[in-house]
Amino acid sequence: MPIATLLESYDFTGKRILPFCSHGGGRFGQSITAIAKLAPNAKIGEGLSVHYSGGSSLSKDVAKWLEKNGVKTK
């Protein structure tokens, strides 16, 4: 609920939201749909869903996700 309150309380017009989560099998569920409804004027980027701790490839997966979403890390 804290994230829902944040999304409802602020104007995300023209802002980009990059959703990410860790999970044990449920992935995003309906979270991305809910984010889009709560922040209708935001741009929703491609999400990153990590199973449990992400394993040894986590840092590479995060870097690839950021690159796909146009986020420069250097």
9 belongs to a structural domain: yes
pLDDT grade for 55, boundaries at 50, 70 and 90: confident
Residue 44 maps to a domain = yes
CA distance 15 to 42: 5
**pLDDT per residue over 24-51, tens digit each?**
887 788 999 999 999 999 999 999 999 8
pTM: 0.81
Residue 74 belongs to a domain: no
How many domains are contained in the chain?
A: 1
Whether 11 is covered by a domain: the verdict is: yes
Domain span at 33: 2-68
Look at residues 6, 1, 5, 7 and name the one whose alpha carbon lies nearest to residue 39: 7
Residue 73 lies in a domain: no
HSE toward the beta carbon, residue 51, CA cutoff 13 A: 4
At residue 26, φ and ψ (nearest 5 deg) are -85, -10
Tell me the average pLDDT across 47-72: 90
**Is 14 a member of any domain?**
yes
